[in-house]
């Protein structure tokens, strides 16, 4: 399953960087920890010295400092040059960047009531600050002067990409609108920033507020002992000793749906999951969706576009809604018939067991698990003992070492924001520093769902010095219990490899300017490095390196590897179907042309009826908890996972043909994709690596739809 790649809100709202200029502020006042470069190992954030009281004054002073810098650039008496305008802009906002990366990192992974309240207060201020920059006419005039005469500037490709990015950001921010339209754009942006934050907060609260409490052990029939033990520990933490608690955290509800014999309880838990944000309570998201969609329609019209999708897709590889719909519908033609076949198989299994009912969506996991055992003699509980979290992480590191020569040294002198976070020094084959890497893998009540990668510091070159990045991965994987370590599901293993692929994109960046560093690329290109990494997760040669039984140390036997390989495309109609359905739902929301009062449930129902989605499957994300498109950065962009799969499936072919650790291929991928960030057009980078544009046939082969 493809996972969420998140960029902190501040990174989407404001463009800033880390300089080391002194501010003259007293080191004793609140917020001052952010006012100069951190005096810590590797310049990592000093979480042990940061208090929640530091954020408000640091944000205020950071915006004030950034505004002064912008004013200085805009009013520079000298003629505009690339250095005094574009580079100066790219280098502005050091304090704001430091506080933003820390604060929004914690807002996603370690949210408290105070952090939530600060986010509510600061988000509209950050939006206004961003608009003050991108609606600054004097600053834009300087940029346009350069943009209109690029031939005379003798720019490198990377420099042109940076100039082009800033020019288009101003244009797309509304700089060419009338004063009245600009004023309205400011209002829209401020409203949208608050609404998207509210949406995500509601999803988190709905997730945290629900508990399925079981007090009859008979209701746990067929659940694996590890799942029961985890539920007992959750109950104990809630002062419910002697009972079992299942939550809407994925490591809790998924195994319950896979194994629990009690169908009524499976239905209850599953409905609680898919009704999040749709319970007509204080956390309901339907009205928020209405406001977001209508504001986005207005924004698109204001900017001269027919739909918000037209506006959003302009800065992607896909370019148009038509191209996205074509991709999704082409895949749907394969996914839907396969999903229907799978539903027939599951219904036959129900009938064979004497079940007098029709297959429902809350039955799918349970009977799929039974069918997998019947067809492949494989159960998830058989293989989890070989996927201890620490061993999987070591496997990820070994793959990175064999491909790119990277080495990982655990650090004990780095301050972290939670005791569960671990840190690593990443070095190249020549012992030079590549990055500092943080991992944070277990669910907590203050952590958003899903998995993601981001940075506390980007890679760039400052005064001739290569500033190396500080990268982190966050996940929500199965927790260890008192009796067993964290044992990952196949989905969680794939997710760890996926997010680490994003991390390599950030770590191996080798550019000069922060604005094109690492993952600063088109949304439908950014998933290439993450998704190609998934191909190594269950490769037999790779499994032999890291998949070891947590009790005996035994390497995973060939018999289990063969079963995993044989079942690789099992249930692919469901997996692909729910993904494509969600991507089409996203596109349907964002190709609306008229503001109106939307009945969210009815809109979703008609969207799915239009494509013929069978009732036994729902979209991977229903609208009311679709964080990607209503709270993250994937509006009209959820298709990106499939667009990037066209790339990653094709990009992995040289490794299939030449060997999964072929050094020449790995070097080419590193040099032409991972190190380049957004320093050139994505397709040009891809062709330099592959020699041609990607062939879509490999996506269909990858998912088992064609031989």
Task: Kindly report the CATH number assigned to the domain that includes residue 122.
Answer: 1.10.1370.40
Q: Is residue 101 part of a domain?
A: yes
- The pLDDT tens digits for 61-93 are 999 999 999 999 999 999 999 999 999 999 999
Same domain, 413 and 471: yes
Q: Is residue 616 part of a domain?
A: no
Q: Is residue 302 part of a domain?
A: no
Same domain, 548 and 695: yes
Same domain, 417 and 497: yes
Same domain, 678 and 529: yes
CA separation (Å) from 289 to 113, 202, 281, 585, 634? 24, 12, 15, 13, 15
The pLDDT mean for the chain works out to 95
Q: Is residue 361 part of a domain?
A: no
Percent of the chain with pLDDT over 70: 96
Closest CA to 520 of 535, 506, 531: 506
Range of the domain at 58: 9-134+136-172
The answer, yes or no, to whether residue 19 has pLDDT greater than 90, is: no
The answer, yes or no, to whether residue 26 has pLDDT greater than 70, is: no
**Tell me, what's the pLDDT at 159?**
98
Same domain, 98 and 223: no
Q: Is residue 358 part of a domain?
A: no
**Tell me, what's the pLDDT at 13?**
30
- The pLDDT tens digits for 436-449 are 999 999 999 999 99
What letter would DSSP give residue 173?
Answer: T
Percent of the chain with pLDDT over 90: 96
Q: Is residue 312 part of a domain?
A: no
Neighbours of 469 (CB within 10 A): 23
Same domain, 86 and 22: yes
Q: Is residue 455 part of a domain?
A: yes
By three-state DSSP, how is residue 630 classified?
helix
Same domain, 506 and 651: yes
Same domain, 159 and 262: no
CA separation (Å) from 561 to 130, 556, 557? 51, 7, 6
Percent of the chain that is helix, strand, coil (3-state, to 5):
60, 5, 35
The answer, yes or no, to whether residue 6 has pLDDT greater than 50, is: no
Q: Is residue 629 part of a domain?
A: no
Same domain, 251 and 144: no
**Tell me, what's the pLDDT at 226?**
93
**Tell me, what's the pLDDT at 399?**
98
504 in Cβ contact with 397 (< 8 Å): no
Same domain, 120 and 225: no
User: Count of domains in the chain?
Assistant: 3
- Confidence band of 28 (pLDDT split at 50, 70, 90): low
Same domain, 96 and 165: yes
Last residue of a domain, one of 125, 154, 172: 172
Active site residues: 499
The answer, yes or no, to whether residue 11 has pLDDT greater than 50, is: no
Last residue of a domain, one of 221, 256, 274: 274
């Amino acid at each position: 399953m493809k996972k969420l790649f998140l960029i902190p809100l501040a990174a989407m709202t404001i463009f800033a960087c880390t300089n080391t200029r002194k501010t003259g502020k007293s080191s004793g006042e609140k917020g001052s920890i952010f006012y100069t470069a951190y005096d810590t190992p590797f310049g990592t954030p000093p979480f042990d010295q940061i208090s929640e009281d530091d954020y408000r004054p640091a944000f205020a002073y950071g915006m004030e400092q950034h505004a002064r810098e912008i004013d200085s650039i805009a009013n520079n008496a000298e003629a505009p040059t690339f250095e005094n305008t574009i580079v100066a802009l790219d280098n502005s906002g050091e304090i704001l960047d430091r506080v933003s990366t820390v604060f929004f990192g914690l807002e996603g992974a370690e949210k408290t009531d105070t952090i939530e309240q600060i986010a509510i207060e600061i988000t509209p201020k950050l939006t206004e600050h961003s608009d003050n920059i991108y609606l600054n006419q004097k600053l834009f005039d300087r940029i346009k002067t350069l943009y209109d005469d690029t031939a005379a500037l003798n720019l490198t490709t990377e420099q042109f990409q940076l100039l082009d990015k800033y020019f288009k950001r101003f244009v797309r921010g509304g700089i060419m609108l009338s004063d009245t339209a600009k004023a309205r754009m400011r209002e829209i942006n401020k409203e949208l920033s608050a609404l998207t934050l509210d949406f995500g907060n509601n999803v988190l609260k709905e997730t945290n507020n629900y508990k399925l409490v079981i007090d009859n052990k008979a209701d746990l029939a067929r659940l694996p002992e590890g799942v029961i033990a985890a539920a007992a520990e959750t109950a104990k933490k809630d002062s419910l000793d002697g009972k079992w608690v299942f939550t809407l955290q994925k490591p809790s509800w998924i195994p319950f749906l896979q194994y629990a014999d009690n169908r009524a309880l499976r239905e209850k838990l599953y409905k609680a999951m898919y009704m999040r944000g749709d319970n007509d309570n204080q956390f309901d998201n339907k009205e928020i969706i209405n406001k977001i969609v209508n504001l986005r329609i207005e924004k698109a019209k204001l900017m001269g576009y027919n739909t918000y999708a037209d506006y959003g897709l302009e800065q992607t590889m896909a370019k148009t809604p038509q191209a996205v719909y074509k991709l999704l519908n082409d895949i749907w033609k394969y996914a839907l018939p396969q999903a229907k076949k799978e539903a027939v198989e599951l219904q036959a299994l129900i009938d064979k067991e004497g079940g007098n009912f029709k297959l429902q969506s809350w039955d799918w996991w349970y009977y799929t698990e039974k069918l997998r055992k019947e067809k492949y003699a494989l159960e998830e509980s058989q293989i989890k003992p070989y996927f201890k979290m620490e061993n999987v992480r070591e496997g990820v590191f070994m793959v990175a070492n064999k491909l790119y020569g990277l080495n990982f040294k655990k650090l004990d002198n780095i301050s972290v924001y939670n005791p569960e976070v671990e840190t690593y020094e990443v070095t190249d084959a020549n012992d030079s520093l590549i990055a500092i890497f943080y991992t944070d893998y277990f669910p907590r009540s203050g952590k958003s769902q899903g998995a993601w990668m981001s940075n506390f510091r980007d890679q760039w070159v400052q005064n001739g010095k290569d500033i190396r990045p500080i990268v982190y991965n966050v996940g929500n994987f199965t927790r260890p219990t008192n009796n067993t370590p964290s044992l990952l599901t196949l989905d969680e293993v794939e997710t760890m490899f996926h997010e680490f692929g994003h991390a390599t994109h950030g770590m191996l960046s080798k550019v000069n300017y922060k604005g094109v560093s690492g993952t600063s690329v088109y949304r439908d290109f950014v998933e290439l490095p993450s998704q190609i990494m998934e191909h190594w997760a269950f490769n037999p040669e790779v499994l032999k390196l890291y998949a070891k039984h947590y009790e005996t140390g035994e390497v995973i036997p060939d018999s289990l590897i063969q079963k995993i390989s044989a079942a690789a495309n099992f249930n692919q109609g469901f997996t692909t179907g729910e993904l494509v359905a969600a991507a089409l739902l996203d596109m349907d929301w964002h190709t609306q042309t008229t503001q109106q009062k939307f009945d969210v449930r009815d809109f979703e129902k008609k969207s799915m009826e239009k494509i013929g989605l069978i009732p036994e499957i729902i979209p991977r994300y229903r609208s009311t908890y679709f964080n990607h498109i209503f709270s993250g950065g994937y509006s009209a962009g959820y298709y990106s996972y499939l667009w990037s799969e066209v790339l990653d499936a094709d990009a992995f072919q040289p490794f299939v043909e030449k060997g999964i650790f072929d050094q020449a291929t790995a070097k080419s991928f590193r040099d032409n994709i991972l190190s380049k960030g957004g320093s050139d057009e994505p397709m040009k980078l891809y062709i330099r690596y592959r020699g041609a544009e990607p062939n879509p046939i490999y996506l269909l082969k990858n998912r088992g739809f064609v031989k």
